[in-house]
Structure 1
Amino acid sequence: MTLWQLPAGSSATIAALNEQLDSRYRQRISELGFSVGATVQCMLRPGLGAPRQYVINNSVYSLDRQIADAILCELTP
């Protein structure tokens, strides 16, 4: 599943970053903590394709669909 598909209130572990994502974006999101093995929680999923909010390392980030779709994750039980 991608980070964009993660239901609100659910947590997941980041499994991979899509190779097709521009290297500058991959580096920046990794610097923010979105790296393989990190736990992330979807905090808010507003409608109409608006950016979604994610909690990682006690910080909240808003990601648009293009970026969130490039982050592959696995649900945390």
Structure 2
Amino acid sequence: MTLWDLKQGTSATVESFCTALQSEYRTRLSELGFHPGEQIACVLSPSLGAPKLYRVNNTVYSLDDSVASLITVA
């Protein structure tokens, strides 16, 4: 399952980044708290494919499907 698959109000633990994700994105996401073992919650899932909002620790970030679909979660 990927981060993009999370429904609003649900949470999961980051497992890994897909190999298709550029190393610059991996580094930046890790700096923001999106790293393996971290608990992530989907706080808003707007309709029509708009970016979703995810809570990491006490901060909320917006990720679109092109990035969130390359982060695997369990």
CA distance in 1, matches of 2:19, 2:32: 18
CA distance in 2, matches of 1:43, 1:25: 22
**Structure 1: which amino acid aligns with 2:14?**
I
Which residue does 1:33 correspond to in 2? 33
**Identity of paired residues, percent?**
50
TM-score (norm 1): 0.94
Which residue does 1:24 correspond to in 2? 24
The equivalences for 1:1-77 within 5 A come to: 1-74=1-74
Secondary structure at 1:61 match in 2? strand
Measure how far apart 1:71 and its partner are: 0.5
Q: Which runs of 5+ in 2 are unaligned?
A: none
Measure how far apart 1:3 and its partner are: 0.3
TM-score (norm 2): 0.98
Query: How many corresponding residue pairs?
Result: 74
Q: Over aligned residues, Cα RMSD in angstroms?
A: 0.5
Secondary structure at 2:50 match in 1? coil
**Structure 1: which amino acid aligns with 2:54?**
Y
